[in-house]
Amino acid sequence: MQLKGLLQVSDFDLRLLRVFRTVAQVGSFSAAEGVLGITRSAISLHMSDLEKRLGGMRLCQRGRAGFALTEEGRQVLQASETLMAAVENFRSEVNQLHSSLRGDLNIGLMNSLISQPHMHITSALRTLRQNSEAVRVHISMSTPGEIERGLLEGRLHMGVLPETNALSGLEYRRLYDEPYFLYCSWEHPLFEQAQQGEVSAQSLCRAAAIAPTYRMSPEAIGQHQDLNCVATASDREGIAFLILTGQYIGFLPEHVAARWVEKEQMIAVDPQQRRFTIPLSLAMRKDRRAHAIVDYFLRVLESESRL
């Protein structure tokens, strides 16, 4: 049977594609309910409508076995990303003709940034909202590698990540430096020694340690080389989890560990020697198009950084 293709793209089709993209991103109809604010039955109806609009194409498998995109579904998802980016570029260019801002701002953030005392992103977002309620802000919490991919693929307008190994396709604007220290928990054998400032190099080398799986700076790599790294974690929250077991030592940004240090549940081990600093930067694609919301946000961010 020959399937009839999509002859034109209407506003209705765009709405259906947005529902489909959300379902694909969260991985199920039930998870998409809270994101979209509509019932599972309504989502199912929208998906059926989209499949009919695409000529009877099956986009996903859903049932007891779980949710999974078909090969056609993956291709439609990729094409929809290109389409939505084109729509947003058009809206951005039209925005240049008006004084008011409206549209989407997609930002990728690492986890645990909320405790950073100089997080100018928060202040800039506040100013953006106060200036225009027509701007829709979308924040994705991701690993540095996922943020870089989102930027290079055009899904994110900007992202905050460590500037350890700069990618040629991205430009970076320094926000601040994060000091890292080596920590253990109050249940770890090194805790009392750390309190007395008497941790030996041999004790550190024997202790089970955590190595991040994300890219590190040469300074950070050097600090990990002589440790007994027997566990890994993809982000800072995972490192904190392992430290709090009382079985591992690991490096965390000072502001991330502060909540446990204040409660005497963590302590920095040999802080004079076991430390390094990583710069955090705002990253964007070098070849990005003019975007009124992004440009305004950057101006506000620069102003906030001077305060």
Helix (H, G, I), strand (E, B) or coil at 172: strand
Q: Which residues of 207-217 are buried (b: 16+ CB within 10 A; e: fewer)?
A: bbbbbbebebb
Average pLDDT over residues 222-242: 94
Helix (H, G, I), strand (E, B) or coil at 106: strand
DSSP at 235 = S
Percentage of residues in the chain having pLDDT higher than 90 = 38
Which of left, alpha, beta for 62 (phi over 0: left; psi -120 to 50: alpha)? Answer: beta
DSSP character string of 115-171: T-TT-HHHHHHHHHHHH-TTEEEEEEE--HHHHHHHHHTTS-SEEEEE-SS--TTEE
User: For residues 156 and 119, which has the higher predicted lDDT (pLDDT)?
Assistant: 156
Cα-Cα-Cα-Cα dihedral of 83, 89, 94, 99, to 10°? 130
Fold agreement (88-176+280-306, 177-278): yes
Tokens of 131: 């200036």
pLDDT digits (tens, 9 = 90+) for 6-18: 657 788 888 899 8
Give every CB contact of residue 218 below 8 A, 6+ residues apart in sequence.
none
Please provide residue 305's backbone torsions phi and psi, each rounded to the nearest 5 degrees: -70, -20
Please provide residue 170's backbone torsions phi and psi, each rounded to the nearest 5 degrees: -120, 150
Angle of helix 120-131 versus helix 292-306 axis, rounded to 10: 130
125: nearest Cα among 148, 149, 142, 107: 107
Class of domain 177-278: alpha beta
pLDDT value at residue 305:
66
Measured CA to CA, the distance from residue 50 to residue 23 in angstroms comes to 13
Q: Which of 22-26, 113-117, 158-162 has the weakest average pLDDT?
A: 113-117
User: For residues 35 and 304, which has the higher predicted lDDT (pLDDT)?
Assistant: 35
Which of left, alpha, beta for 166 (phi over 0: left; psi -120 to 50: alpha)? Answer: beta
Q: Is the pLDDT of residue 5 over 60?
A: no
User: For residues 68 and 94, which has the higher predicted lDDT (pLDDT)?
Assistant: 68
What ranges do the domains of the chain cover?
11-83, 88-176+280-306, 177-278
pLDDT digits (tens, 9 = 90+) for 205-217: 999 999 998 888 8
Cα-Cα end-to-end distance for the chain: 66
From the candidate CATH numbers 3.40.190.10, 3.90.1150.10, 3.20.140.10, 3.40.50.150, the one assigned to the domain spanning 88-176+280-306: 3.40.190.10
Question: Considering the domain 11-83 in this protein, what is its CATH number?
Answer: 1.10.10.10
Please provide residue 237's backbone torsions phi and psi, each rounded to the nearest 5 degrees: -65, -40
pTM (2 decimals)?
A: 0.64
pLDDT digits (tens, 9 = 90+) for 168-214: 899 999 888 889 999 999 999 999 999 998 898 899 999 999 999 88
Measured CA to CA, the distance from residue 249 to residue 190 in angstroms comes to 9
